[in-house]
């Protein structure tokens, strides 16, 4: 019974975290009075590292619940659970580390006097765009997987 509850609830919890942080908090942070780009990036580095680790715990919990009671997950729902897990793995293993050097340099400019040279580079790097794309993949797949799992359990 616990597995069924986890399989139906956790996709929605995970979805809510991504929606709140990636699509509400992050864009609004840069509109806050006095927020510099460098400071916002520094905060973002911390927030997204923490978010990714919490997501990893949620994904691991989903895997354990799925193994414990996998018969309640349809093939489509299962695929839609694996897709965000793969997107998260790409973010944690490839994308966030690739963005790390540039964002570290940019956030360090927040600690330097205003006369210091800004970090070089385009703020909309392809890696960052890919990271955002992975977030979109997760926010589409997770609620659909949750709905399909609820339907499968109720049906």
* Domain ranges for the chain: 2-154
First vs last Cα of the chain: how many Å apart?
15
Give the SS3 label for residue 135: helix
- Residue identified by tokens 């009075």 is 33
28-73 per-position pLDDT tens digit: 998 999 998 888 888 999 999 999 999 999 999 999 998 988 666 8
Where do the H-state alpha helices sit in the chain? 2-20, 26-29, 37-68, 75-90, 96-108, 126-154
- Residue identified by tokens 């840069």 is 30
pLDDT at site 83: 97
> CB-hemisphere CA count at 13 Å for 21?
21
What tokens appear for 84 in the block?
A: 């965000």
- Among 59, 131, 140, which Cα is nearest to 93's? 131
Report how far residue 36's alpha carbon sits from residue 12's, in angstroms, rounded to the nearest whole number: 33
% pLDDT > 70, the chain? 86
The pTM (predicted TM-score) of the whole model is 0.86
Assess whether pLDDT exceeds 60 at residue 127: yes
* Per-residue DSSP letter, 91: I
Lowest mean pLDDT among 8-17, 40-49, 82-91: 40-49
């Amino acid at each position: 019974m616990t597995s069924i509850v986890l399989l139906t609830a956790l996709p929605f919890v995970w979805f809510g975290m991504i929606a709140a942080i990636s699509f509400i908090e992050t864009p609004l942070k840069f509109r806050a009075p006095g927020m510099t780009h460098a400071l916002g990036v520094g905060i973002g580095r911390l927030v997204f590292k923490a978010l990714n680790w919490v997501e990893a715990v949620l994904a691991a919990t989903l895997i354990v619940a799925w193994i414990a009671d996998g018969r309640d997950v349809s093939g489509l729902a299962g695929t839609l659970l694996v897709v965000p897990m793969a997107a998260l793995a790409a973010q944690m293993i490839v994308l966030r580390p690739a963005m790390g050097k540039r964002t570290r340099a940019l956030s360090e400019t927040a600690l330097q006097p205003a006369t210091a040279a800004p970090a070089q580079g385009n703020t909309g790097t392809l890696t960052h765009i890919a990271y955002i794309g992975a977030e979109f993949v997760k926010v589409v797949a997770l609620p659909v997987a949750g709905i399909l799992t609820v339907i499968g359990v109720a049906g």
